[in-house]
Amino acid sequence: MGGKLAGIEVGYRTSLTHSDSTLAVTMWIEKLRAVDITLRSEVRSAHASPDSKPAVTATTQLAFADPEAGTLRRLSADERAALAAWTTTD
């Protein structure tokens, strides 16, 4: 499965320092469409509560491609089913 980075947006909400190490990164699929997905990420200090405000938020859009043809391609039913397990429902 080939992919292309179609877009990325990063928001720095609060500072993290060396004493915040290690970091906890939470990722999930926010949108699952025919030829692309949007990943959502949140970064917090590993010492922070999982429901605390994240220090960094990001969205990444990945488009699926046929590397030989150099064109976008639709996800198969099996690929969509596998990715659906990582998609939010709210």
Residue 83 host element (H or E): helix 77-84
Hey, where are the domains in the chain?
2-84
Q: Could you tell me the CATH superfamily of domain 2-84?
A: Hotdog Thioesterase (3.10.129.10)
Q: What is the 8-class DSSP label of residue 84?
A: H
Binned at pLDDT 50, 70 and 90, residue 89 comes out as low
pLDDT digits (tens, 9 = 90+) for 16-75: 988 888 999 999 999 999 999 999 999 999 999 989 999 999 999 999 998 888 889 999
Q: What DSSP string describes 21-57?
A: PSEEEEEEEEEE-SSEEEEEEEEEETTS-TTSPPSEE
| Distance (Å, whole) CA 88 – CA 90 | 6
